[in-house]
Amino acid sequence: YSGVAIYTRNSACAPIRAEEGITGILTPPNSSTSFCSLPEDQRIGGYPTAAQLSNFSLDAAALDSEGRCVILEFPALVLIGVYCPANRDESREEFRIGFLNALDARVRNLVAMGKRVFLTGDLNIIREKMDTAYGEEQLKKHGMTGEEYLSTPAMRMLNQLLVGGRVIGQKDDEEDPAIMWDICRAFHPNREGMFTCWDTKKNARPGNFGSRIDYVLCSLDCYNWFRDSNIQEGLMGSDHCPVYAVFKEKVEINGSEVDVRDIFSAGMFTGGIRQREWCTKDLLPLSGRLIPEFDRRQSIRDMFAQRSRQPKIGSCSSEIEASGLHKIQEPLQERSILPSVSDNLEKPNDVAPRPPQTPKEVSLEISRPNHPPKRPTVANGISTPPKKRNKIGELAKRTMPRGKGQPGKTQSSIIGFFKLDSLNAVDQEASQFCDSNPEPSAPNARAARCRTNYTK
């Protein structure tokens, strides 16, 4: 699996160009023209030349066939997000070295054009021995010395790119100087154990037995734009942890201080003051918002912030169906925990109606186990077999408490999802809701309507 995504905050930044891949051979969505063949004002530039790729048997299309790079350009910088191949076996070594050299060429070409470059992501390379807990193990496994270990092609390429990188012997090309700055290591130059990846199969994270292979790098002309950089080793959810860098409020560009918000959009901010709001015109063809699977979808924040609406009088069923509450009530109706209005109409008239129930009584009735009705008979005396109870109903019946209204140790009803303190508040809401509606023709209809307050 491989894939890269870059998230941008619409309220603060708007990239002016976006591309997929390192070589420029890929095409924008709904276009047959590759990025490197677009007009100069529509492309980011800095694509590796044929001479830079001639040392490898893999062509440009093969290097960009695995979705390992996304590049955004802002008014003042170019942001490259990558997921570099790992050295898991020898069969992938040729692809790995070819990808890394194409990445090195793209970064150097962009810097040579005078653009500020940020390189972020999982490079799958360590800089030096202190960046891994596997150093001694690797030396013994491959029979290497420390200098030979640092001279492997991937580590050598990275150290030649970075300022302060340790290169054994002469550089491969003296004309290629160190042009990138390791931001996180610059803030913590002597910190050991600053690992960003751990082997989850060996449960190596609790003992901090891992490697530092994730980076935030920047070109030298913006190395002093940051006030902090670190890792978040306590944030779980992946075998990697985040690496971050925090910009200063004002950064220096061409000898002048500029508000950092000015450099991440075209005309959205001037001097740190908002000039306009973000709009759909700022979307680029490569934006994920334009993918059909994500088009007009709610954000994660909207999902948590949305509140369920109170059912309106006279339209309870439609309101419940619209808000999705019917999905919760369908299992309750199948189990016949509360009789419906239609059930009451079919009963003989001589049956005395039950007295109105308080909301507290309704809550007890919801948690009370249901006794199945007697098997109905037809005119010829042959009884119809009852519907087969599903597994969910059987499980719920087994977990229901036997005592009247007494909570059990296991989950017995939907009320168990609510805390005791919040349940009292729900009871008060149910009482107010029922009292504000006219008395229905059947008492159980009132109980059924109150039930929606508990299933929210």
The two structure tokens encoding residue 82: 């990558």
Angle at the Cα of 308 from the Cα atoms of 307 and 313, rounded to 5 degrees: 140
Beta strands at 77-83 and 117-122: parallel, antiparallel or unpaired: parallel
Give the rounded distance of the alpha carbon of 195 from its chain centre. 22
> Is there a catalytic annotation at residue 122?
yes
SS3 content of the chain, % helix, strand, coil (to 5): 35, 15, 50
Burial bucket for residue 189 (CB in 10 Å: 0-12, 13-18, 19+): exposed
In whole angstroms, give the CA distance from residue 282 to residue 15: 8
From residue 352, alpha-carbon distances to 160, 238, 348, 429 in Å are 91, 62, 9, 29
Instruction: Report the C-alpha gap between 53 and 22 in whole angstroms.
Output: 12
Tokens matching residue 438: 């006219």
Task: State yes or no: 55 annotated in a binding site.
Answer: no
Element (H, E) at 393: helix 391-399
- One of 83, 149, 215, 454 is an active-site residue; which one? 83
- Given the residues 240, 244, 259, 326, the one annotated as active site: 240
Q: Is 83 assigned a catalytic role?
A: yes
Cβ distance 19 to 285 under 8 Å? no
- The catalytic residue among 47, 64, 104, 122 is 122
Reference 138, options 153, 124, 152; nearest CA is 152
| Cα 292 to Cα 287: distance, rounded to the nearest angstrom | 11
* C-alpha span between 120 and 122 (Å, rounded): 7
Annotation-wise, does 89 bind a ligand? no
For 332-345, the DSSP string reads HHHTTSS--HHHHH
Has 326 been labeled as part of a binding site?
Answer: no
- Is residue 456 packed enough to be buried (19+ CB in 10 Å), middle (13-18) or exposed (0-12)? middle
Stated as kind and residue range, the H or E segment containing 74 is strand 69-74
Count the alpha carbons within 13 Å of 290 in the hemisphere toward its beta carbon.
11
| Contact call for residues 356 and 443 (beta carbons, < 8 A) | yes
Rg of the chain, C-alpha, whole Å = 33
Q: Any idea what DSSP says for residue 55?
A: T
Please name the amino acid found at residue 118. F
Q: What are the catalytic residues?
A: 83, 122, 240
Q: Which residues are annotated as a binding site for Mg(2+)?
A: 122, 124, 239-240
Q: Which residues are annotated as a binding site?
A: 122, 124, 239-240
